[in-house]
Structure 1
Amino acid sequence: MKYQDIENRLFVENRIKFRKLLKNNSLAIFQSNDEFPKSGDQDFPFKQNADLFYLSGIDQERTILLIYPDCPNPLYQEVLFLRQTNEHIKVWEGHKYTKLMAQEASGIQNVQWLEDFDGILNSIIQYSEHIYLNINENVTSTYSIADRNIRFIEQMRTKYPLHHYERAAPLMRQLRDCKSPEEIKLIQKACDITKDAFIRVLRFTRPEVAEYEIEAEIIHEFIRQRATGHAYPPIIASGVNANILHYSSNNQACKEGDLILMDFGAEYANYNADLSRTIPVNGRFSTRQKEVYNAVLSIMKEAKKLMLPGTSVKDYNLRVGEIVTEQLIRLGLLTTDQVKQQTPAFPLYRKYFMHGISHHLGLDVHDFANRYTPFSEGNVLTCEPGIYIPEEGFGIRLENDILLTENGNIDLMATVPIEAEEIEEIMNTKA
């Protein structure tokens, strides 16, 4: 891993919180993610299962975590199973956890090799009543691949059919929703790296630069500061490309007079940042561009005021819709009469602002949380309003990451340049 070691107290405390949610005499098992083949003899870069990392801090493939608080043998109340390294792996793949290193990283004292998992599980599972197993229950997930967790569930039900099986995901959703101080520090680190990459881009961008050159500047800064890489595929969308919400080609030249909508974030220690900014290619907004830009910025400022613990997601989105509508009328994109005649189920502002205003952020970019519960202290949410006008050849989105506290929200990207004049000043000041 490129990132610096994380104090294991974070993962020890996460397991303590998890154990408190289990039914009596329950055993829980978490699997690492699969390694996916790419082509030939190559694999895609490994990405650890977020729940396993949250509970163990172990960032390595073929890892299993077993938690059994009521195990009659105290040795097996927490067990971490690792792929055993050897001289061949050491030469060809490099770093793998030793048992001692895994103990230090996770705070788990009983670390075993993966080959001993079946024997140890069989020796204790008969004493348990409930078995908690984990799958990806993120509501935006549409994958149909039978991953490691699905395969393991099938094996367990075949081998141990009379136990009571439980879902670990609702417990993890409850835990991961609110971020601990240690998690917030890691998210802030990802945000700070993202800020530096953005400032680098401001000083680099000029007419005729290619979108992919801007992408290269971003990843340069990420890796230079020990980030793992991009939190998600970066969007570098110049001109009309900004009206494609998930634009990822990043292969066009940035033209004089156009805007560039950029949506990117660093991943650091598996925690993510998520930033959007829109800048002028030539370093100066036109009158119309600045008018729309300031409208989007005004929406963001008003939306941030609404992001408070206890606010319902429904009420938040309804109010944001009203704020967006007001700005669209001011910009001449909608009229008051049109709005009065609109169908409430299909508000007219959706023509110019099609996506959601906020999502949870953490170990996943769209982090595991309950979208139907009110905001709460410790939530980290994006705030990302936009106005997209294909007929005028540009779209504008702005996005910061916001921590909610009982005393109001804290913008984790408050120091990232966002005012139009500030962006122009940086772009026109020689380094």
Structure 2
Amino acid sequence: MRHQPIDSSLFVENRDRLKGLLPPGSLAVVHANDILPTNADGALKNIPNTDLFYLTGIEQEESILLLFPDSPEPTQREILFVREPIEILEIWEGHKLTKEEATEASGITNIKWIGDFPNIFRNCMLSAEQVFLNQNEHRRAAAEVQTRDDRFVAKCKEQYPLHTYRRLAPLLHQLRAVKLEAEVELIRHACGITKGGFERLLKFVKPGVYEHEVEAELSHEFVRNRGAFAYTPIIASGKNACGLHYIQNDQICNDGDLLLLDVASNYANYNSDLTRTIPVNGKFTPRQRDVYEAVLRVMRASIANATVGKMHRDWHYEAQLMMNEELVGLGLLTKEEVAEGTRENPACRKYFMHGLGHSIGLDVHDVAPAHVPFSAGWVLTVEPGIYIPEEGFGVRLENDILITEDGPVDLMADIPVEADEIEALMAAR
């Protein structure tokens, strides 16, 4: 746990909110992620299951949360199972949570070792009316690898075929979309670390540096502030910016190029997501500035349009209409091409082909209910862009916002974005 401890009251409240959505007699189970293998005897770093962390604050592998609010046995209404910290385990893998530490982190008083799970689970199953099991139901998930939750679902259906099984994911998506104040503060902290990284690289970037050297500057700033890259960084100079998920980061930054930076830090498993586009030599050309200002206008207007009750698809379409006008002004589209476009295939898609934004939180592309309007507490990214391969550059700008009843709050309002400000900061290097 690199981050500072989080008050367990956050996780207590999250569990209470989930219990309020469970029908009477419900049993719910959430597992930690597997530690995935690499090659030979290697393994990837443990990535906490975000649902389990959301409900417990626990990041340790093999942990299991069992919730049975209506259990006739009071001690079985909320149980956290963790690995027993035996001596040989701690010698080879390092410190494991004691029961006292697990309680302090999660607020759960009944802590059991993993070996106790099968018997306790069977006892609970015999009293449960229905069972809520978890799976990754993100709409863009690549579900090619079976998870710990997947295997548990299959095992339960085999061992207890007469039970009624229900999906836990829709309930968690509903809850996780609305961030509590403590969660917003953790996202703000991640945004603050990201700001430091961006301001650091403004002093570093110049003609002749390599993209990976810029990545190294960011890594140093993020890690020294208890953060880490929230996602694989995109550091794309010149025409590389026209590849939306360019991650090689191995090319030289040439004089006259723009450098697109889609880079951000996380903190305590909560993520930020920032994109900026800067001139490598510190000065936008007139054409680069015109495109930059067009994207910035769409971003600012889209932030203002992200209001309670707005449907995501309508919010995106409003941005596309604005982008159509900007592209006509830039000479990239004609009014006739715009008129021939449709809502499903607007003309701007030639130069602005991706979504306007997404929910963000414990996952960079965070879970949220589909086809429901924005509500207070949602945190979204706003990221319009214009990509012109024939001119060898692209511009994308992105801030994270909090939707409130009083209007959107820009969580990155203090991170430089105005072209004049960026040029001034780069000149001061």
Task: Check whether TM > 0.5.
Answer: yes
Instruction: Tell me the distance in 2 between the aligned counterparts of 1:309 and 1:344.
Output: 23
Q: Which residue of 1 aligns with 2:349?
A: 350
Instruction: Tell me the distance in 1 between the aligned counterparts of 2:124 and 2:292.
Output: 61
CA drift of 1:314 comes to: 2.3
Q: Which residue of 2 aligns with 1:279?
A: 278
Map residues 15-414 of structure 1 onto 2, 5 A cutoff.
15-227=15-227, 229-414=228-413
Give structure 2 stretches of 5+ with no counterpart: none
Opposite residue 212 of structure 1, the aligned amino acid is: H
CA drift of 1:88 comes to: 2.0
Give structure 1 stretches of 5+ with no counterpart: none
1:230-260, CA deviations, whole angstroms, 9 ceiling, x for partnerless residues? 1110000000000000000000000000000
CA drift of 1:343 comes to: 4.2
CA drift of 1:93 comes to: 2.1
Q: Is the deviation greater in 414-423 or in 143-152?
A: 143-152
1:255-279, CA deviations, whole angstroms, 9 ceiling, x for partnerless residues? 0000000101111111100000000
Q: Contact between 2:340 and 2:347, CA under 8 Å: does it hold in 1?
A: no
Q: Which residue of 1 aligns with 2:417?
A: 418
CA drift of 1:89 comes to: 2.3
1:338-362, CA deviations, whole angstroms, 9 ceiling, x for partnerless residues? 2123344321100000100010000
TM-score with structure 2 setting the length: 0.99
Instruction: Tell me the distance in 2 between the aligned counterparts of 1:371 and 1:151.
Output: 26
Q: Which residue of 2 aligns with 1:428?
A: 427
Opposite residue 398 of structure 1, the aligned amino acid is: L
1:9-59, CA deviations, whole angstroms, 9 ceiling, x for partnerless residues? 000000000001111101000000011011222210111111111000001
TM-score with structure 1 setting the length: 0.98
Instruction: Tell me the distance in 2 between the aligned counterparts of 1:56 and 1:342.
Output: 48
1:351-384, CA deviations, whole angstroms, 9 ceiling, x for partnerless residues? 0001000100001001000231111100000000
Match of 1:37, SS state, is: coil
Instruction: Tell me the distance in 1 between the aligned counterparts of 2:369 and 2:127.
Output: 33
1:206-246, CA deviations, whole angstroms, 9 ceiling, x for partnerless residues? 1010000000111111100001x211100000000000000
Instruction: Tell me the distance in 2 between the aligned counterparts of 1:172 and 1:268.
Output: 21
1:112-160, CA deviations, whole angstroms, 9 ceiling, x for partnerless residues? 0001100111122201110110000000102211111111111111111
Opposite residue 233 of structure 1, the aligned amino acid is: T
Percent identity of paired positions between Structure 1 and Structure 2: 50
Q: Contact between 2:170 and 2:369, CA under 8 Å: does it hold in 1?
A: no
Equivalenced residue count is 429
Opposite residue 395 of structure 1, the aligned amino acid is: G
Instruction: Tell me the distance in 1 between the aligned counterparts of 2:72 and 2:370.
Output: 39
Instruction: Tell me the distance in 2 between the aligned counterparts of 1:413 and 1:187.
Output: 10
Match of 2:126, SS state, is: helix
1:156-189, CA deviations, whole angstroms, 9 ceiling, x for partnerless residues? 1111111110100010011001100000011111
Opposite residue 218 of structure 1, the aligned amino acid is: L
Opposite residue 341 of structure 2, the aligned amino acid is: Q
Instruction: Tell me the distance in 2 between the aligned counterparts of 1:54 and 1:275.
Output: 23
Opposite residue 57 of structure 1, the aligned amino acid is: G
Instruction: Tell me the distance in 1 between the aligned counterparts of 2:91 and 2:201.
Output: 38
Match of 1:233, SS state, is: coil
